[in-house]
Structure 1
Amino acid sequence: MDINLTTTFFFIFSGAALLASLALLTRQPLLIAYIALGALIGPYGAAWVTDVNLLAEVAEFGIIFLLFLLGLDMQPKSLVSTIKQTSRVAVISSLIFMAVGYLVALAFGFTQRESWIIGAAMIFSSTIIGIKLLPTTVLHHRYTGELMVGLLLIQDMIAIFVLLILFSMSLGEFSGVALLKTVIAFPVLILIAFAAVRFAILPLLQRFDRFHEYLFLVAIGWCLGMAELAHIMGLSVEMGAFLAGISLATSPISQYIAISLKPLRDFFLILFFFSLGARFNVGLLSEILFASLVLATLMLAIKPVVFRYLSAKMMHSRKLAWDLGFRMGQISEFSLLIAYVALEMALIGEAASLLIQATAILTFVVSSYIVVMRYPTPIAINDSLRRD
C-alpha cells in the first residue's frame, strides 16, 4: 500500500494512542506498546508503514534531544568527577558482558568474527530506557542518577571505538590514523562547544531573552549544530548533543529550554521505538529464537549483578546498588546500530544481526517490566512508585 507521510504519522500516533491506552489498562509499560505497534503495522506485519529507514532516521532526533536535555541539567565539574568514579565499573563490566556474548554466540555456531561483534553489542545499556524510566529528581539531584549518566557516557565512548573498528574492518585493516583522529576530536569538540557558548550563544540569549520563540530556535539550532559537527569529526551525534547541553548548563535559562523541548523529545522517541519494532524480521525469528532467549536471559541476569557488585563501594546502600543494576539491565540502541552497520558492511550474516536485534528487544521488554513494576519511575502503574 502506497501511503504518504501524513497517513504514515496517522497510523503511528493513532495506533500508539490506542495501544498505549490498552497498555495502561492492563498495567504494561508504554514502551512495549510502541514496539508492538511497529511489529504489527510495519513491513513484516500488516505493511501499513513500509518506509522504516526514513522513520529510523527521523527517530534518531529523539535520542539527540534526550541527550541534549540531559546535558542541560548537569554541571561540567560534577560530570568530570562522576566519569572518574565510574570508569573502573564501566571498563570491567564491558569486558564481562562482551565475553559472555562472545561465548554464547560461539556456542551456537557463529563464526569468530560474528561472535566478537555479537559480544561487543552486549556491552552497552540503553540510554533511552535508563533515563526515560528514571525519576527527574533522581536523575538530576541524586547520586544514582549521576552514576548512571557517567556509566552511559563511558559506554558511549566505547561504542564509538567499536564502530570505528567495524569501519576499519570493512576496509580490510584497522586504521590507527582514524583512531588517533577520533581521540583528538573529542577534546577539540569540547573546546569548540564551550568557546562558542561563552562568546556567541550566551550573549545572544541574554540580549534577546524576552523573545521565547527565539530562545527555542537557538536551542534547537545549537543542539543539532553540535550533533552535526560531532558527526563530521568522526564522533557520535549523541555525544555532540550532550556536549551542547553541558555547555549551556550554566546558563540561567537552561531550565526553561529543557522544559520547552520535552514534548519534542517525546514525539521523536515514540518514532524511535516504533521503528525498532517495525524493522524486526519476524519471518527469520525461528532461526535464532533459542539463541536469543539464552543470550537475553543471561544479559538480564548478569548485568544487574555485575553493576550491583562493581558499584557497591560507590553507593550508599545495597538497595541503591541493585536499583542501578536493574535500571541498566538491558542492552542498547547502540547494539542495534552495531547490528545494522555490521550487516550492511557484510561483516556478519543476517542471522547474527537478527540475534542482536531479538536480544535487544527481549531485554528492552523484560527490563522495562522489572523497573516499572519494582522501582520508582515517571510511568509507574502503581501510584506509590510513580515519580516525575
Structure 2
Amino acid sequence: MIGGITFTFAAIFLGAALLASVALYTRQPIIIAYIALGAILGPYGSGLIDDIEIVVDAGHVGIIFLLFLLGLDMQPRALLSSLKQSSLVAVVSSAVFAGSGFGIAWAFGFSLIDCTIIGAALMFSSTIIGIKLLPTTVLHHRHLGEVLVALLLFQDLLAIIILVLIQSSVGGETNAWSLVKPLLALPVLGFFCWGLVKTVLLPLITRFDRYHEYIFLLSIGWCLGIAELAIVMGLSAEIGAFMAGVAIATSPISQYIAVSLKPLRDFFLVIFFFSVGAQFDLATLPEVALAATTLAVVMLGLKPLVYHALLRGVSESHGLAWNLGFRLGQCSEFALLIGFVAIGSGLLSGEAAVLIQATTILTLLASSYIVVLNFPTPIAISERLRRD
C-alpha cells in the first residue's frame, strides 16, 4: 500500500470529494460516487490502494456509530411495540427472499450448499441504506422510522443466527444452545446497559457535563465498549451499539451526544461505501454477470411487493407500505459478510461468493437511485424531495 494509512485516507477523501462534485453536478446520488471510487482505486481496479483490510475495518466503525446515533433517538417503549408488530413481517419476508434466491441460483447450476448460502445471504435489506436515506425527522419521530428500524433489527438477529450456523457447521458443533444464545443475550445486554447507565454513566455525565470533550470521549467509549461486549455475548457490534444508544435515549444529554458524533459517523460512512466498491472483483464478474443481473432484478422487484403485501396485512397504510418496501428493496451488507465467512469456512465456492457480492452491490446502487429519485431523503437531487 503506497504511503501507508495517510496515503490511503488522502486518496479516499480527495477522490471522494472529486467524484462527489461530479455526482452533484450531474444530479446523481452521492453514495454512488463513493462506491465507484472504491472500484476505481481498489485492488480489483487500478490497485492504487491494494490492501483494503484497514479500510473495511474502518468502514465497519461507521455502521456502528450510525446504529448508536439511531438508538439515541429511539424510545424503548416505541421500539418494543414496533418489534412485536414487525416480527411476522420480518420472518415471512425473509423466507420468501431466501427461497427466491435459492431457486434462481439453482436454475443457474450452482450446488445445493451454494444455493442455500446464496438464498440466506440475499434475504436481508441494507441497514445502512435504509437508515442513511431516511430523513432524520421521519426516522426518529414518525411511525415509518419505527417500523423500518424494527424490521432491520429483527433481520440483524436472523443474520447472526445464520453466521453462527455457518461457523459452527465447520467444526460439527451446531447445537440448540448456539442458536438460542443470541436471542437470550439481547435482553441480558439491554438490562445490563440500562443498569450501567443509571448507576455509572448518567451520574458521570451529570457531574461533568460542562466539559464537552469529556462527554465526547465518554460517548465514544460507551458506544464502542458495548459494541465489543455484544460480540463477546454472541451478538453483532451493530446491535450492541444500538442498545448502547437506546439505554441513554431518555436522558436530555442524548441529543447533544447525537449532534457531536454526526461528523465522526459521516467520516467513517464514506470509508464504508468506498470499501464496498473496493471489494468488487471486476475480473470475475463476467462469469456470473447473467446470474447476478437476474438475481438483482428479481430482488429489486420482489422486495417492495412482498413488504407492501405483508405490511398491508398487519394494517399499515398503503402509502407507508410502498414507501417502506422501496426503502428496503435491496440486499444487505450482511450478505457480503455471510459470503466472506462462508468462503473462509470452505462452504462456498469462489464463483458463488462473487455472485453474492455482485448482486448485493448492484441492488445497493439501483436501490439508492430509486429511493433518492422518488422519496424524501437527506441527499435528494430534487429540492422538493430533500429532507434532513
TM-score, L = length of structure 1 = 0.98
Secondary structure in 2 aligned to 1:383? coil
SS of corresponding position for 2:312: coil
Aligned to 1:279: 279
What corresponds to 1:255 in structure 2? 255
| 1:70-93: CA deviation from partner (whole Å, max 9, x where unpaired) | 000000011000000111111110
Aligned to 1:216: 216
Measured after TM superposition, the shift of residue 362 of structure 1 is 0.4
Partner of 1:2: 2
- Mapping of residues 347-366 of structure 1, within 5 Å: 347-366=347-366
Task: Give the counterpart letter for 1:331 in structure 2.
Answer: C
1:108 match: 108
State the distance in 2 between where 1:216 and 1:315 align: 42
Instruction: Give the superposition deviation at 1:313.
Output: 4.5
Q: Contact 2:327–2:367 (CA<8 Å) still a contact in 1? A: yes
Tell me the equivalent position of 2:163.
163
State the match for 1:182 in structure 2: 182
Contact persistence 1:315–1:321 (CA under 8 A): no
| Structure 2: distance between partners of 1:91 and 1:123 | 10
Shift of the 171–316 alpha-carbon distance from structure 1 to 2, 3 Å rule, reads closer
What is the alpha-carbon distance in structure 1 between the residues aligned to residue 267 and residue 315 of structure 2?
A: 34
1:205 corresponds to 2:214: no
SS in structure 1 at match of 2:376? coil
Q: RMSD value over aligned CA atoms?
A: 1.1
Aligned equivalent of 2:337: 337
Match of 2:66 in 1: 66
- AA aligned to 1:383 is E
Report what 1:150 is aligned to: 150
Per the alignment, do residues 242 and 367 of structure 1 end up closer, same or farther by CA in structure 2, a change over 3 Å counting?
same
The answer for the alignment partner of 2:172 in structure 1 is: 172
For 1:1-388, what aligned pairs fall within 5 Å after superposition?
Answer: 2-314=2-314, 317-388=317-388
Decide whether the 8 Å contact of 2:134 with 2:376 is kept in 1.
Answer: yes
The answer (yes or no) to whether the contact 2:157–2:182 under 8 Å persists in 1 is no
Q: Give secondary structure in 2 for the equivalent of 1:109.
A: coil
Question: 2:269 and 2:315 mapped to 1: Cα distance?
Answer: 30
Once the two structures are superposed, what CA deviation does each residue of 1:315-370 show, in whole Å capped at 9, x if it has no partner?
A: 65322211110000001011111011111111101111110110011000110000
How far residue 314 of structure 1 moved from its aligned partner, in angstroms, is 4.7
Counterpart AA for 1:309: A
* 1:64 partner SS: helix
Distance in 2 separating the partners of 1:298 and 1:239: 29
Secondary structure of 2:262 counterpart: helix
Deviations 1:183-239 (A, max 9, x none): 332222111111100100011001111111111111100000000000111110001
Structure 2 distance, partners of 1:313, 1:141, is: 23
d(CA) in 2 for partners of 1:281 and 1:181? 35
Deviation at 1:170, TM superposition (A): 1.5
Distance 1:284 1:210 in 2: 55
Would you say the 8 A contact 2:194–2:247 is kept in 1?
A: yes
Once residues 107 and 175 of structure 1 are traced to their aligned partners in structure 2, the CA distance between those partners, rounded to angstroms, is: 31
Structure 2 counterpart of 1:215, which letter? I
Identify unmatched segments of 5+ residues in structure 2: none
Q: CA offsets, 1:8-31, max 9 Å, x none?
A: 111100000000001111111111
CA distance in 1, matches of 2:305, 2:167: 33
Q: Which residue identity lines up with residue 377 of structure 1 in the other structure?
A: T
Query: Residue 62 of structure 2 contacts residue 267 of structure 2 at CA under 8 Å; is this kept in 1?
Result: yes
Measure, in 1, the Cα distance between the counterparts of 2:363 and 2:128: 13
Partners of 1:314 and 1:107 in 2: CA distance? 33
Report deviation, 1:169.
1.3
DSSP 3-state at the match of 1:164: helix
